[in-house]
């Protein structure tokens, strides 16, 4: 004890030099919930700080403040691939860059970059490389991209099976060429809705080459198209009947005059088949109308500008009639392909639906 010089009264002991308000050291431990915590010891005695705990040192109790909390993982598994970051990573590939991916998923570009850095920290190597304004994946990035698609597919599949796969989960994207899409897509949709009633389905109508690109990038889940597939994993989905169509009042040109043909612009498998068939039968032909889409072809035929070779599934398009005075064209084989990490049932079920549809047209 010591005396106060002004009053003569005794005062308490002098403050201990170790009793400081600032942290003097930190220590790590796991709380009862299994979370890893790092705490700072601030002063002896007193209640713990909010969110903190008590750490013992001999007989003294020190007030501790939590300065870091991290998720708990089993030993040796501290590097974890975050689902959100993986989804962002695949969006970069599907959208073609950080800026477009950020706009597509509703994040800032800095947040997208942060997700990539988080993945790079987990795998311990660079995943993307900048070449001017172009972003490309490293070899490790390409490997992770393939694995990320598998992880996300399994994750979303589990949510669907647990009844949590409603709006906001992975949307099934179905691709098709325009030929007979009005008949083929409803058949595929019926199978998908029966298998996953909670899933949303989105359609993409495009050229076969672009559908293949979408499948390669993982932006399309399943696609039906005319022509050869790039992947050996594609399956035959039946034969598409083809027929000549014209406007009701259209007449064949005089003998020796070229037959006016309406077709989708080059390259197009059905356009090629039409011209080859006429040439094989010694009939001259000239493409008088080219259109970027099937709707333009149908409108030009309906306007009497020429004849066209179209898919013959179901009733003919309104305002057109079949022509029996032109050489028959054998059916064209349809291919069906899924993305690389799609479940095996997807190709089997959708191809079966298309085959059943076309079998009913025979």
| Other C-beta atoms lying within 10 Å of the C-beta of residue 203 | 13
Domains 172-239+334-359 and 242-329 share a fold: yes
**Mean per-residue pLDDT, 1-8:** 51
pLDDT computed for residue 5 by the predictor: 53
The pTM of the full predicted model, rounded to 2 decimals, is 0.52
pLDDT one-digit tens code per residue, 126-147 = 999 877 667 788 989 888 888 8
**Mean per-residue pLDDT, 137-160:** 81
Does residue 288 carry a pLDDT above 80?
yes
pLDDT one-digit tens code per residue, 101-120 = 787 677 788 888 899 999 99
Residue 204: pLDDT band with limits 50, 70, 90: confident
Fold (CATH) for 83-161: Arc Repressor Mutant, subunit A (1.10.10)
> What is the rounded average pLDDT for all residues in the chain?
74
pLDDT computed for residue 278 by the predictor: 92
**Mean per-residue pLDDT, 29-58:** 45
Fold (CATH) for 172-239+334-359: D-Maltodextrin-Binding Protein; domain 2 (3.40.190)
Does residue 58 carry a pLDDT above 50?
no
Write the secondary structure of the chain as one string of H (helix), E (strand) and C (coil).
Answer: CEECCCCCCEECCCCCCCCCCCCCEEEEEECCCCCEEEEEEEEECCCCCCCCEEEEECCEEEEEEEEEEECCCCCCCCCCCCHHHHHHHHHHHHHCCHHHHHHHHCCCHHHHHHHHHHHHHHHCCCCEEEECCEEEECHHHHHHHHHHHHHHHHHHHHHHHCCCCCCCCCCEEEEECCCCHHHHHHHHHHHHHHHCCCCCEEEEECCHHHHHHHHHHCCCCEEEEECCCCCCCCEEEEEECEEEEECCCCCCCCCCCCEEEEEECCCCHHHHHHHHHHHHCCCCEEEEEEECCHHHHHHHHHCCCCEEEEECCCCCCCCCEEECCCCCCCCEEEEEEECCCCCHHHHHHHHHHHHHHHHCCC
CATH (one of 3.40.640.10, 3.30.70.20, 3.40.190.10, 3.50.50.60) for 242-329: 3.40.190.10
pLDDT computed for residue 212 by the predictor: 82
Q: What are the sequence ranges of the domains in the chain?
A: 16-70, 83-161, 172-239+334-359, 242-329
The contacts of residue 265 (CB under 8 Å, 6+ apart) are 271, 290, 291, 292
| Other C-beta atoms lying within 10 Å of the C-beta of residue 45 | 9
pLDDT computed for residue 147 by the predictor: 86
- When comparing pLDDT for 117 and 340, which is higher? 117
Cis bond before residue 267 (omega within 30° of 0): yes
CA dihedral sign of residues 337, 338, 340, 346: negative
């Amino acid at each position: 004890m010591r005396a106060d010089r002004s009053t003569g009264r005794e005062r308490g002991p002098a403050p201990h030099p170790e009793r400081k308000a600032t942290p003097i050291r930190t220590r790590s431990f796991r709380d009862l919930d299994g979370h890893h915590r790092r705490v700072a010891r601030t002063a002896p005695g007193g209640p713990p700080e909010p969110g903190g705990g008590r750490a013992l040192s001999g007989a003294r109790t020190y007030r501790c403040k939590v300065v870091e909390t991290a998720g708990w993982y089993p030993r040796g598994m501290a590097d974890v691939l975050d689902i959100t970051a993986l989804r962002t990573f695949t969006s970069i590939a599907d959208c073609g860059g950080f800026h477009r991916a950020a706009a597509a998923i509703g994040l800032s570009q800095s947040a997208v970059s942060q997700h990539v850095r988080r993945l790079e920290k987990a795998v311990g190597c660079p995943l993307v490389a900048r070449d001017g304004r172009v972003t490309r994946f490293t070899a490790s990035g390409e490997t992770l991209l393939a694995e990320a698609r598998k992880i996300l597919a399994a994750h979303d599949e589990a949510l669907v099976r647990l009844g949590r796969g409603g709006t906001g989960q992975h949307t099934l994207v179905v691709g098709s060429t325009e030929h007979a899409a009005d008949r083929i897509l409803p058949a595929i949709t019926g199978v998908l809705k029966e298998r996953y009633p909670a899933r949303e389905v989105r359609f993409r109508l495009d050229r076969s080459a672009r559908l293949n690109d979408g499948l390669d990038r993982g932006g399309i889940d399943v696609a039906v198209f005319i022509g050869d597939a790039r992947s050996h994993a594609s399956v035959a989905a039946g034969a598409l009947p083809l027929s000549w169509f014209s406007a009701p009042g259209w007449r064949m040109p005089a003998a020796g005059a070229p037959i006016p043909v309406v077709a989708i612009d080059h390259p197009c498998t059905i356009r090629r088949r039409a011209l080859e068939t006429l040439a094989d039968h010694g009939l001259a032909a000239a493409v008088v109308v080219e259109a970027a889409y099937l709707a333009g072809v149908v409108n030009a035929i309906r306007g009497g500008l020429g004849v066209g070779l179209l898919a013959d599934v179901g009733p003919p398009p309104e305002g057109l009639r079949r022509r029996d005075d032109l050489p028959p064209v054998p059916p064209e084989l349809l291919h069906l392909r899924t993305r690389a990490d799609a479940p095996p049932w997807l190709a089997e079920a959708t191809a079966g639906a298309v085959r059943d549809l076309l079998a009913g047209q025979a």
